[in-house]
Amino acid sequence: MFSLWIRSYKDLPFKTYQRAQVFRYETKATRPFLRSREFHWIETHNAFDSKENAFKQAEEDMETTKEVLLEIFGIPFIFFERPQWDKFPGAESTFAADTLMPDGKIIQLPSTHIISQNFTKAFNVKFTDEKGKENFCWTTCYGPAISRIFAAMISIHGDEKGLIFPFPVAPVKAVIIPIFNEKNKEKVLKETEEIKKKLIKEKIRTEIDLTDKNMGEKFYFWEMKGVPFRIDLGKKELKEKKATVFIRHSGKKTKEKISNLNEFILKEGKKQLVELKEKSENFFMNSVSEVHSIEEAKKQIEKGRIVKTEFCSVLMTGYSCAEKIEKQLNASVRGTKLNEKEKPKGKCIVCGKKAEKIVYIAKSY
């Protein structure tokens, strides 16, 4: 289609995306979110007039990844340039965001690829430049890996009580639990409705729990669902004009003026994201160990850590060393850390040749 749609430099950059529900043919190794039978597939595909502009797009993709993954979902990651043997098929370079799950396995989240002119040459996708000269386009593609982002969010932020949703993406941001008897039922419910109305006005998605579960069951249920704030409202609260607010991620309980609930939740919601982010960043950054031998690497990887070490080459000449790591450590070479000029000093931990790169190795999904 690109060869029909693109004619001249005026058509460039050409940016498009496709989305579809996809069904996996094989069903043996599926897992919820990580590798589901049916998944929502989104990919961008872009064409440019130069390699430079293709790289600019990859940079923009990585910036978008940061804005969403870190700033909204609170998930830390490292962008790696994948070794030559682990690229997207047909790509010249693959840049992928990896994060670490609590079980010590890496998961790949969004990835962006410089396809270069490989596909445009195969499919005859040409453009005429300003001087009337024909050339093949340079293309890129980007996949955000939506369902795996959800998997990472659930695993990284959740605890033994259940989910913890980052405030910006919580489907329900606050839940109100009215506590009443036959005598004050009407009064309590009326106040609960008022609070809900005010919260919804501020785009704080709120629900009222009117089920006939007992209090303990209600508390347990909403904790498990990961709702960031629970507001308890009963006789005592009405009298004091202060609601009891339970904050899911910290487990803290506080009293807050009913008239001030909107501001309180908006402010605390921002704080919640910052705290979730800090906690997960600390875990991630403290999980990297620098090692200088294969035995050390093995020890650290078995502890569920990422290792940073000297490696001969991320070109195809290093492939046999990567295969040995795969076999001996049951782990994979994730690549070189992007935008950091990490210079190795010693020797490749596998073959002992002079190391050209610092790579990161970990178990992965």
Query: Applying CB under 5 A, does 355 fall inside the site for Zn ion?
Result: no
- Report which of 146, 108, 78, 111 is spatially closest to residue 284, judged by C-alpha positions: 78
* Binding residue count for Zn ion, defined by CB under 5 A: 5
Note whether 321 binds Zn ion by CB under 5 A: yes
Residue closer to Zn ion, measured from CB, 192 or 313? 313
Binding test (CB under 5 A) with Zn ion, winner from 70, 72, 154, 351: 351
| Location of structure tokens 């839940």 | 175
Q: Which stretch binds Zn ion (CB under 5 A): 61-69, 90-98, 277-285, 307-315?
A: 307-315
Smallest separation, CB 218 to Zn ion (Å): 58
Piece in contact with Zn ion (CB under 5 A), picked from 40-48, 120-128, 292-300, 304-312: 304-312
23 neighbors 41 (Cβ within 8 angstroms): no
- Which among 94-102, 178-186, 274-282, 305-313 is the span making contact with Zn ion, rule CB under 5 A? 305-313
Among 107, 301, 322, 350, binds Zn ion (CB under 5 A): 350
- Count how many residues are written for the chain: 365
If the CB atoms of residues 273 and 321 are measured against Zn ion, the closer one turns out to be: 321
Q: Which residue in the set 115, 348, 359, 361 belongs to the binding site for Zn ion (CB under 5 A)? A: 348
Residue 159 vs 290, nearer CB to Zn ion: 290
Contact 26, 66 (CB under 8 A): no
Q: Which of 312, 331, 333, 361 binds Zn ion (CB under 5 A)?
A: 312
- Comparing CA positions, the residue from 116, 178, 170 lying closest to residue 141 is 116
Q: Is there a contact between 253 and 246 (Cβ–Cβ < 8 Å)?
A: yes
Whether the CB-CB separation of 252 and 205 falls below 8 Å is answered with: no
Residue ranges of alpha helices (H) inside 286-318 are 294-302
Contacts of 118 (CB under 8 A, 6+ apart): 90, 91, 92
Q: What residue ranges bind Zn ion (CB under 5 A)? A: 312, 321, 348, 350-351
